[in-house]
Structure 1
Amino acid sequence: MPGRNHSRDFKLEVVGQINAGLSTTAQLCREHSLAPSLIHRWRKEVEARGEAAFTDPAATDRSAELRIAELERYCGQLSLENTILKKSLATYRLNKGIK
């Protein structure tokens, strides 16, 4: 049946049954009306990506972008604090006559 969409959990369950030896690819193909090539593709995806299989890479990229932005803000804050501390130390040394 072309055009069907299967949930991530379903795909992982099918691959898990094959990997655990509970069912064969042929049995699952008959039970769920799936093509063997589709199950093979799912197995390769799980082998390649592990737990991240069947997740949207764009969502992962967005999460990484947010984390990078957060770290850049933090780096900027630390840089500003460092500059203020350096100026304060220079002023203190001038007032105390320390070189």
Structure 2
Amino acid sequence: MPGRTHSREFKLEVLEQIERKQKTTAQVCREHQLSPSLIHRWRKEVEMRGGAAFTDMKTADQALERRIAELERYCGQLALENTVLKKSLANDRTRSGSK
């Protein structure tokens, strides 16, 4: 029998209930038919990864790669614009100096 899959929101909600002492670990385990070791693993992941807990690392890595590529394109565009503006300024200076 394959294990159940729980959403990120569900995991965080369960851990928040325990953290705020709204329910004990045992109560949450009985209510949702979870094992205490599973709750322990979820806690460990939150401790290790913080806000990135329970996210797919491959998807997160792909999103970061896309963001890096986007920023590199933008940086290249700014560098090109900077070069054009410098040339334009230099041309204006030579024209005003030759009058």
Q: Give the drift of 1:41.
A: 0.5
The answer to whether residue 36 in structure 2 is matched with residue 33 in structure 1 is no
**1:52 aligns to 2:52 (yes or no):** yes
Report the equivalent of 1:64. Answer: 64
SS at match of 2:34: coil
Tell me by how many angstroms 1:49 deviates.
Answer: 2.7
- In structure 2, what is the Cα distance between the partners aligned to 1:22 and 1:86? 63
Alpha-carbon distance in 2 for matches of 1:81, 1:93: 18
Runs of 4+ off more than 6 Å: none
| Identical columns (%) | 69
Unaligned runs of 5+ in 1: none
TM-score by length of structure 1 reads: 0.75
Please say if 1:87 is aligned against 2:71: no
Structure 2: gaps (5+ residues):
none
Length, aligned pairs only: 98
CA RMSD of aligned residues (A): 2.4
